[in-house]
Structure 1
Amino acid sequence: MTVSVLLADDQGLVRAGFSALIAAEDGLEVCAEVADGAAAVAAAREHRPDVVLMDVRMPVMDGLEATAAITADPALAGVKVIVLTTFELDDYVFGALRAGAAGFLLKDVEPADLLRAVRVVAAGDALLHPRVTRRLIAAFAARSDAEPLVRPAALDELTERELEVLVLVARGRSNAEIADDLVISPLTAKTHVSRILMKLGARDRTQLVVTAYEAGVVVPGA
């Protein structure tokens, strides 16, 4: 099965580089290239790609608006968005996750890591590297305009064990690491994460992190 990728970036050289890299990889193809967010949304609706590589800063409509538009469209439920950012844009990273992105990459990502990310997200997994998660947490903690804590009623449906797992997910732990921490099997850890996703109505692991911090289940720095 070939994974189709939509490239959305206003820098032609960046698009050309990513396009050449993806085109040279077996099982991956570029279905379209666009230079602004509005065009990205239109292209997603036309081509229905498996993955969109979305830059944040683009004309007409920025990447976060475009990401939100794509993830909110029921007809595009199968389209996953990876937002491209830098460590200097941590606030944008948080906004991207809230907008429904399946993950994010640094714009200076190594070619092998980019290709792996596309495959991981296309397979339905979230891309949330612990190193970047720590930066995200720090950015959230430093936000002076952070909204008041909102605890979703669905959190009360989680078992004590599921709350423990949610805390570990929010701290950037992988399923294997969660299994080690709680002395359970990786399959059991994966099952817990799946149930938490279902109970909280979250699209993926990245949204669990956002929910945990916004609800105060995990406190930055604690």
Structure 2
Amino acid sequence: VAPAPVGPALSLPDKPSIAVLPFTNMSGDPEQQYFSDGITEDIITELSRSRALFVIARNSSFQYRDKAVDVRRVARDLGVRYVIEGSVRKMGGRIRITAQLIDAVPGNHLWSERFDRRIEDLFDVQDELTHTVVATVVGRLEDAEIRMASNRRTDSLPAYDCLLRGIQQLRGFGMENNRRARELFEQAVSLDPQYAMAHAYLALSLLVENNYGAASDAIKQRALEVAMTAVR
């Protein structure tokens, strides 16, 4: 059978372009997939804060989850020069994150690192990883750009964990999934009342659970109030 025709490669953007592939869950427990997915999404979000980078959106990157990939082919298909891939292993109170940054044009590894830390240090690991990638790809950046890339949304690991679990449930699309997602987002908000992302997802889950436009006026009003809290 002849191979499928390959489309033309996308041209590279003017800015340094990067795709973060879904980090592999190495915990040996499929239930921990939400955790590695969440870390990947957070790295994408934090890198996107830098105006010096062109970062591929989550939906495009996550099409490669659980697949053996050729980094050069991925870069060609997505129109990027740099690719980040890695893995996450959560073991009791500790976490191991490995990551590598690849220049996909020549296929060179620019940087790789393994972080063995306490689970409480997760946010510091994310900051360090993001900062290093930005500095490596872009070179010298203004201090404001670096601060933007390392800006965290919560200091509460339990709230962060609830958010990730809630997002996982929300993508299940069932009635029970929707109810459980709302409860987890409510728990995240109670753990950190200033957690804007948790408020935003709580507002969304209220509408999803109540069938969007079919929701009662009271539910719509509550969702609006929660959403307003997220943007204050």
TM-score (norm 2): 0.29
Q: Would you tell me which structure has more strand in proportion to its own residues?
A: 2
